[in-house]
Amino acid sequence: MIATPDRTPLPRTFFDRPVLEVARDLLGRHLVRTTPDGPITLRITEVEAYDGPNDPGSHAYRGPTARNGVMFGPPGHVYVYFTYGMWHCMNLVCGPDGTASAVLLRAGEIVEGAESARKRRLSARNDKELAKGPARLATALDVDRALDGTDACATGDTPLRILTGTPVPSDQVRSGPRTGVSGDGAVHPWRYWVADDPTVSPYRAHVPRRRRS
């Protein structure tokens, strides 16, 4: 018999830990996004850790900017960035205030509110693809820069919240290089995913952009 997922909100202390611990422990947790169409619940199946000033792959590697300022704030907040001029990606800030580490939510399974997610992901061939990749995840959940800085640990009405869900056993967790990261950051095996889960996105190594002649 499959246990019912725990709907207790995760406390701020969950996020106030080293980023690699938080990243691995986020697998199986539930993210609830409240929208005008009703709640959408996502079971997290794939993440990547970014360790601020210790990580060349992190947006915070060179210090705070107007774009990444939320990463330098308290844990449990949402960092949303815009990329390639068309997509949003969602992260959860972790570690002590000022450390600038965060976990990118790369993929998940929509377990509630799939009809609402489908309206935003018309190109998805099936429900397993609704949030298969970080940009698809943000699109399915209607996440954009307006949610940057949202406190996912706040009580009362909040547009985003992380619930306990059902943590994934260690023997079902896999790790490897992060997708699309180049340089020194490419060697870190800081991508974590649920083994054999069909919602996990395919790995792609970084491909340098060719300059036009």
Chain segment 43-93, per-residue pLDDT in tens: 999 999 999 888 998 999 889 999 999 999 999 999 999 998 889 999 999
Q: How many CA atoms lie within 13 A of 183 on its CB side?
A: 6
Entry pTM? 0.93
- pLDDT by residue (tens digit) across 110-140? 999 999 999 999 999 999 999 999 999 999 9
The residue behind tokens 């422990």 is: 25
What burial class does residue 46 get, using C-beta atoms within 10 Å of its C-beta: 0-12 exposed, 13-18 middle, 19+ buried? buried
Domains and CATH numbers, the chain: 6-194 (3.10.300.10)
